[in-house]
Amino acid sequence: AQSVAQPEDQVNVAEGNPLTVKCTYSVSGNPYLFWYVQYPNRGLQFLLKYITGDNLVKGSYGFEAEFNKSQTSFHLKKPSALVSDSALYFCAVRDMRAGGSYIPTFGRGTSLIVHP
């Protein structure tokens, strides 16, 4: 079974400050991890993904995420937040083990609010 948790419903940060949106996961095999962003009344936009390799993954719009196997986490980060980053962020995981589902499981989403 695969599952993902986003422990925060909402994250508030001041513009210019670093931001972190948390995500933890549970899989039987190796994880295949994603971050998506959703702006109001829009579909999800792909930000980045981790399959293997370097634990720090760089994605779109200056976002990056750090894979931590021991803590089973894949937190999304950005060094300096912009007001335009305010949106809903979804973490997703897929179990890479043979025979596992190719359908990712999505977290419930975290609303990021960046204050001017």
For other proteins, the binding residues (CB under 8 A) are 32, 34, 36, 41-46, 49, 51, 88, 90, 102-104, 106-109, 111
Give the residue with the Cβ less far from other proteins, 21 or 109.
109
Buried b (16+ CB within 10 A) or exposed e, 77-109: ebeebeeebbbbbbbbbbbbeeebeeebbebeb
Shortest reach from residue 109's CB to other proteins, in Å = 5
Q: CB of 7: closest distance to other proteins in angstroms?
A: 14
**Residue type (1 letter), 51:** I
Q: How far is the CB of 43 from other proteins (least distance, A)?
A: 4
Name the burial class of residue 31, with classes exposed (0-12), middle (13-18) and buried (19+) by CB atoms within 10 angstroms of its CB.
Answer: buried
Judged by CB, which is closer to other proteins: 38, or 73? 38
- Beta strands at 44-50 and 3-5: parallel, antiparallel or unpaired: unpaired
- Minimum Å distance from CB 18 to other proteins? 25
- Based on CB atoms, which residue is closest to other proteins, 16 or 46? 46
For other proteins, the closer of residues 44 and 82 by Cβ is 44
Which DSSP helix (H) or strand (E) runs through 25? strand 24-26
